[in-house]
Every structure is written in C-alpha cells, then in structure tokens.
Amino acid sequence: MGLLESFYDKSPIFFQNLMVSISGYLRNRTRYGKVYYEHREFLEKFDKLTLNEKLKIQEDKFIDFINYAYENSSFYKELYRDIDINSIKQMSDIKKLPIVDKEMIRANINQVNTVERMGAVEGHTGGTTGKSLVVLMTPEDMMKRMAMLDHFKSRVGFEHLKMKRATFNGKHIVPPNQKKKNFWRYNAACKQMIYSSFHLTEANMKFYVENLNKFQPDAIDGFFMSMCDVAGYIERHNIKLTFNPVAIFPTSETLTDSGRELLERVFGCKVYDQYASSEGAPFVTECEKQVLHVELASGVFEQFEENSDEVLVTSFTTHGTPLIRYRIGDSMTFDSDNTRCMCGMDSPIVKAIQGRKLDFLYTSDGAKINGGNVANLFKNMPNALIRAQTIQDEMNEITILLEVDKKIYKPEYDEMLEDEFLHKFGKGTKINIKHVDEIPREQSGKFRMIKNNVNSQK
C-alpha cells in the first residue's frame, strides 16, 4: 500500500471526498484542454456531413496515422520494412499491412511506443485472458477521446461537467476497515458521485438506493452488471425513485437485452450503449434511436476474417502506442445492407456488439452459445434471483452459481432454470446448480456472468 493510499484510508469520509475531488481536478487537466473543445466543435460539424465526406476524412486520417507510426515507432518501421509506405494512398490499401495482436504489442512495447511515459496518459487492460498491457496516449489523444465520449452523450441530452452523474466503477474508494454504510465518494470536479462496485450485497443495496435518491443524478454510467444489480433490488422491493435520469450509459461489459429492459423499466429512461476500450480502440455509439453507429472520425473497424464477426481496429487516438490492424479480441456484427438510420446520422451501422471472445459457453458437441443467449436463459426467472454466474470447466458440464432472495425463492425455480439450459445445451450437458451467499466480483470490480475455462485450456 502506498503512503497516499494509507493516508486516504485513515482519513475521515469528508476528507476522502476532498481527495477524490482534487484527483478529479488534476485529471481534468489532461482531458479538457484546448484540444478537447476544438474536437467537440469538429465533431458537431462532422455529424452533418454526408457519408462520402466522412469517409474521405477518415481516409485522410488513416494515411496520416500510418505515416506517423512508420516514422516514429521502430516496431512499425521494422514490421513494414517490405512495404512501400508511399503506396498506402486509400483505405483499401489497409489490407497491405500485417495484423498485430496483443502479445506482439506487449512483447515489443518499448519499440512500439513513440512517447515516454512521463507526460503520457496510461491506459491499462487485462481482459479475460489476464494478459496485461499498458498503452500510452498523448494528452491530445485523451482529450479527443473524452470529446468523442461527451459528444455522444450530448446527442441524447446529457452534458458532461454541467449535469450530475452517478458512476459505478472499480475504483477502490472504500477503505477495508470502514464501518459506516457509506459506499460512495463525491468528485466535485465532474459533479460525479462514484459508487463502489465491490460492496453491492443484498444487505448494502438499500444504502445505495437511498443515496441515489438523495443525489438525484441526471445520468447513470459505469459497469452494466452493477447497475442491473441496483435496478433488480429496486424492482424486487418496489422502491420509489425520486429522480428521473436523462439516460444510462453502460461501460466495460457486454449489454444483454434483459438487462437493458430492466434498467429502462426501473429508471424510466433509455439506455445508450457504446464501445471503446482501455487500449484506445475506435468508438461505436448508440444514437437517439438506440442504433449503433461507427464513429468514423475515431478510427477503422475491419472483419478479421471473411464470415467472422471478430474485428480488427485501427485507432486514430493511439499516437503513443499505435494500434494498426490490431486484433483486439472483440466481435461485432455489421449491417451489410447499408441501412439508413432514422436518426439522420450518416454512418455505418453495427447490428450487435458481441463483446469478448470468451463471453460464450460450449455445448457438448462444441457449438458456442454467446453471452446474449446465455443471459436470455435467465430472462423468465422470478425476481427472487439476485445474481447468477455460469462456469464451464468441461465441455459437457456447466455449473450455475445462484445468489437468491431466500425468503421468496422456491425450489421449483431451480427446475425451471435447469430446463431452460437443457433446451439450449441439450441432454449431453450436465447442469449443476449451486446456491451461494455471494458471487464474488473480479479484482477490477466487474461481475462476470460467464467464466469459460475450457477455452483457456486449449
């Protein structure tokens, strides 16, 4: 434990709030400078352009970025040694460039990086594989990313820094020996109440809801499953909310249809999905019609292979650690019909974001059931179910951990759930249902609905 963290843990809560706010003001300096406001203006104008005009700007940015990486990164200079970099003149030329993956970047990180850590903004990623990667962004990159994120939110009525937001994330804001039932801290720099995702137990949930009613946020953002936990508690206990947020913005975890419906039903507002990454991937955001759009000004998405949903990303906001044709490990389904969205924004449409490759379970014969379909198997369960996690260690066996409200949960619900799974996975799969007092979260504070250990053994 560092000296500052030790001092924080021993301080009274009002002083911890002050420390969180000071940290927020310092962070704002790397996020909301001149470049941020200039990029917000650019994005406002970019939205109004035709698709062809947007694609031309994207192409120009792509060529500039390739040249930047070639000139400033010894890794890419070596990787492209057999390529005439001057022949990269249009977007279709991207196929001339080799694909890179996380292990290549991690193993050669010092050669990939174009800037020193001092003065750069760090992005950390671990992902489901557990392999860590620290990428560097220039302050200008970070400001452009924040501008894109805030522009997306402003399209649906939320103005960051001007309106209040409640955030559920993995920050360690609650000292381990704290007795008081106060699981949130206030960041005055962003009008943001930060809620701990590590203390969302059934016993603590009422304190979260009481504080939300007191704080009255204009938007809620953060870990999708944490927000679903709170919404489920509110619905199970028929609690009246005294606020009506403009929108909900989930991050970090793949959305499920049932979770989206729950959040919209409980909080009385729309959920707007987004895709980015801690590595600095390009953005995909939902418009006011809740349709996913590729943000063409932020980078390029490609299919990894024909007939595959896995994507490659090239991000224009990764100058510190350039990511070009990077195999990020995520999957998306694109609209091949070039449908025009009712919102009027002219950009490619994404039909679905499937998320990480390990967000699936196997049937006994090797077929994959993705995370959205797994989540749907819990859709008809009564409100007595608090939380569920599926674990697969063998191809023909799935263990389901259930955290339930013991006062109202009935034994026949287990039979109902087992029947749902057997209909999807077949009788060749053994289903083990175990009731636990609490399903632990990951070290990041995220909750994993699926833990596929079969894939990691291959």
- Each residue's pLDDT, cut to its tens digit, for the chain (458 residues) gives 568 888 999 999 999 999 999 999 999 988 999 999 999 999 999 999 999 999 999 999 999 999 999 999 999 999 999 999 999 999 999 999 999 998 899 889 999 999 998 888 888 765 433 345 788 999 999 999 999 999 999 999 999 999 999 999 878 899 888 889 999 999 999 999 999 988 888 889 999 999 999 999 999 999 888 899 899 999 999 999 999 999 999 987 778 888 999 999 999 999 999 998 878 899 999 999 999 999 999 999 999 987 778 999 999 999 999 999 999 888 899 987 777 899 988 999 999 887 655 567 888 877 777 666 787 788 777 767 888 899 999 989 999 999 888 888 889 999 989 988 887 887 889 999 999 998 887 776 777 888 988 865 54
Q: Which two tokens stand for residue 72?
A: 């400033």
pLDDT for 380: 74
Q: Which of 247, 251, 334 is nearest to 290 (CA)?
A: 247
Q: Which residues of 344-371 are buried (b: 16+ CB within 10 A; e: fewer)?
A: ebbbbbbebbbbbbbbbbbbbeeeebbb
**HSE-up (13 A, CA, CB side) for residue 55:** 9
Q: Which two tokens stand for residue 128?
A: 């489901």
Total Cβ atoms within 10 A of residue 110? 8
For CA atoms 124, 457, 438, 245, the dihedral sign is: positive
The pLDDT value given to residue 305: 83
Fold of 3-353: Rossmann fold (3.40.50)
Q: What is the CB neighbour count within 10 angstroms for residue 124?
A: 11
pLDDT value for 455 = 63
Q: What is residue 408's predicted lDDT score, i.e. its pLDDT?
A: 83
pTM: 0.81
Q: Which two tokens stand for residue 185?
A: 């801290």
Pick one of 3.30.300.30, 1.10.20.10, 3.20.20.70, 3.40.50.300 as the CATH number of 360-457: 3.30.300.30
- Delimit the domains of the chain by residue range: 3-353, 360-457
String of DSSP letters for 89-148: -SGGGGGGSPPEEHHHHHHTHHHH--S-STTPEEEEE-TTT---EEEEE-HHHHHHHHHH
DSSP at 71: H
Amino acid at 143: M
- Separation between Cα atoms, residue 441 and residue 438, nearest integer Å: 9
Structure tokens at 28: 């704002």
The values of phi and psi at residue 420, to 5°, are -60, -45
In whole angstroms, give the CA distance from residue 405 to residue 384.
5
Q: How many residues does the chain have?
A: 458
Which pLDDT value is given to residue 355? Answer: 64
Instruction: Report the C-alpha gap between 456 and 393 in whole angstroms.
Output: 10
The count of other CB atoms within 10 Å of the CB of residue 141 is 24
Let me know if 68 is exposed, middle or buried by CB neighbors in 10 A (0-12, 13-18, 19+): middle
Q: Which residues contact 255 (CB under 8 A, 6 or more apart)?
A: 224, 271, 273, 353
